[in-house]
Structure 1
Amino acid sequence: MIIARRIIAEIDRRGLQPGDRLPAEKLMLDEYQVGRGTLREALRYLELSGAISLKPGPGGGPTVEKPDASHLMNSLGLVLQFEGAPFSTIVEARVGLEPPMARLAAERITDEQRVLLAESVAKMGENLRDLEVFLETNKAFHDVVAWASGNALFGLLIDAVDGIFAGVTLGVEYPAQRRARVHEAHTAVLDAIVAGDPDAAEEAMRAHVLELATYLRKKFPDALAKPITWDAML
């Protein structure tokens, strides 16, 4: 771990970007004054963390990468399993987290994000009979709002918890009436964010996630009571 942290510190010091190559093994052994086994374990740890990739053969070696939400998802899922946490944990967390995300988004959203948000709402409205499109646009909407908050932790958290849900079959259904209600809620959040009204955006998102949480608790209590398991996410 000490060597892994030193490698990351060196990446930062040199301003290396994804795709940049790290020094050859021999040079790193000289630099860090450790055995080959220790260095390789450190590099393997960084590879599993998503910080580098290891390419074998001539011309290969360690290359800088950028960790994404999938690495947070795996770590979070593993920790939640050992805590014995049910899926209701994620639903409750989203109720607490997403309203302030929407507030910040109303203050910080970029023009590009505004377009993406509007497109997700429009596409959902045009395809309410298509469950696959509904799920795709629903995920996209919440993802854009989270990243539009300007807070990377919010963006990564929503990506991670979406990944936990996406990897598991919970049997949750979204009939036509529910899809239409979700679209109405997304439209209200969109309008408030576009208008630059933080109070209205926060309240619209709170109403949306509370309504969804109530629906899930009422219709699918057994699904929410299921414990989160790491193997089901793979």
Structure 2
Amino acid sequence: MRPDAPGADEPAWVGERLELPPRRPTRRADAIAQQIRDLIAAHGLRPGDRIPQEWLSEAHLQAAKGTVREALKALKTQGLIKTRTGPGGGVFVSALSAGQAMDLLSNLFLFSRPSLSEIYALRKLLEPELVAGLAGRLDEADYAHLQETIRLYDHAPADAEEEFQQRLSELDFHSVLAGFSDNRLLTFACVFLHRLLREMAVCRAIYATPNPQLRETALNYQVRLMRLLKVGDAEGARSLMAEHMAEAERYMLARAAIRQPEGG
């Protein structure tokens, strides 16, 4: 295997398609790691809780010391446990934050990023449903949070740098909305798509291009959307967001077409 080739157990991009690793027999260490995960879940342990040492003993797990050590190392790498030495030390439950998970996923796409069309294909599906689910459910604190985000771009920018930051803040509005959803998978998916856009060189170049009308268009959509959400008009919110996503996609693709396309 070449030094730069993907490992046998790692997904790899082939062209523009994700090649999944073949199913292989479960290693003993993997099975032990799963057993420890099951114990944590079954006993309701939370981040910061100490895992009883007897759960990790070779006798309890019916595994060799080296296998248990390998399983714990895997769980630590995955962010599920952490260890502390000294008095009061031991093995403790940890938790992978959404940000850490997005860092890992972002690395997956580092060398072959999804296209703008691929990202907007998902945004057009997810974000209209997201706002439909939020209609009539947000409180005054939620609307105040959205208004705080809008204040960052409700005025003409003083210079090119502020205008660039305003474009990012307009995207933040959508991430804030996603954060209000009770569907954590939906929240994660939407925010991750926004992150991909922020990281794409072609998007950053587009955001850095002066366009006063773009800010006015975004404000118009977002103010109208908040009115629909306040009165509980789920269908109106869904329709407006679908229109907004379609318009945003057209604009981004048109601007990207006159620039050097990004690989992937």
- TM-score by structure 2 length? 0.72
Instruction: Tell me the CA shift for residue 217 of structure 1.
Output: 0.5
Task: In structure 1, give the amino acid aligned to 2:207.
Answer: E
Tell me which amino acid in the other structure corresponds to 2:117: S
User: Are the counterparts in 2 of residues 146 and 154 from structure 1 also a CA contact under 8 Å?
Assistant: yes
The separation in 2 between residues aligned to 1:164 and 1:116, in whole angstroms, is 23
Q: Quick one: which of 121, 124, 128 aligns to 1:99?
A: 128
Query: Computing the radius of gyration over CA atoms, which structure comes out larger, 1 or 2?
Result: 2
Question: Cα RMSD (Å) of the superposition?
Answer: 3.0
Partner of 1:172: 206
Q: Pairwise mapping of residues 211-222 of structure 1 onto structure 2 (< 5 A)?
A: 211-221=247-257
- State yes or no: 1:109 paired with 2:138: yes
Separation (CA, whole Å) in 1 of partners of 2:113 and 2:153: 35
Query: CA–CA distance in 2 between the matches of 1:18 and 1:206?
Result: 38
- Aligned pair 1:192/2:224, yes or no? no
Change (3 A) 1:208 1:9: same
Give aligned-pair identity as a percent.
Answer: 26
Specify the alignment match of 2:26 in structure 1: none
1:206 is aligned to 2:234? no
Q: For the residues of structure 1 that align with 2:184 and 2:67, how far apart are their CA atoms?
A: 32
Q: Quick one: distance in 2 between partners of 1:64 and 1:127?
A: 48
Paired with 2:91 and 2:164, the residues of 1 have a C-alpha distance of 38
Q: Report what 1:156 is aligned to.
A: 188
In 2, Cα distance between equivalents of 1:209 and 1:201: 12
What letter is aligned with 2:144?
V
Deviates more, 1:75-84 or 1:13-22: 75-84
C-alpha contact (below 8 Å) 1:102/1:201 kept by paired residues: yes
Q: Does residue 64 of structure 2 align to residue 28 of structure 1?
A: no
Change (3 A) 1:196 1:226: same
Q: How much has 1:75 moved relative to structure 2?
A: 5.3
Q: Which moved more, 1:15-24 or 1:46-55?
A: 46-55
Give the direction of change, closer, same or farther, for the CA distance of 1:217–1:87 in structure 2 (3 Å limit).
Answer: closer
Given the superposition, is the C-alpha separation of residues 63 and 207 from structure 1 closer, same or farther in structure 2, using an over 3 Å criterion? same
Structure 2 counterpart of 1:42, from 71, 75, 92:
71
SS of aligned partner of 1:39: helix
Measured after TM superposition, the shift of residue 39 of structure 1 is: 2.4
Matched to 1:28, the amino acid is: L
Residues 1:82 and 1:169: Cα distance change in structure 2 (over 3 Å)? closer
1:45-87 deviation line (CA, Å, top 9, x unaligned): 3333332334456654432223233354355446657988434
TM-score of the two chains, using structure 1 as the length reference: 0.79
Q: Secondary structure at the match of 1:166?
A: helix
Within 5 Å, which residues of 2 pair with 1:47-62? Answer: 47-55=76-84, 59-62=88-91
Unmatched tracts of structure 1, length 5 or more: 229-234
Moved more, 154-163 or 174-183: 174-183
C-alpha deviations, 1:87-137, integer Å up to 9, x for none? 431122111211110100114334443332232223331475523542453
Distance 1:177 1:159, change over 3 A: same
Amino acid at match of 2:131: A
What is the aligned counterpart of 1:125 among 154, 167, 175?
A: 154
The offset of 1:19, in angstroms, is: 1.8
Aligned length: 227
Distance in 2 between the 1:124 and 1:62 partners?
Answer: 47
Structure with larger RCO (C-alpha < 8 A, sep 6+): 1
- Please list the CA deviations of residues 167-207 of structure 1 after superposition, one character each: whole Å capped at 9, or x if unmatched: 44332225232122212222122221122211121122112
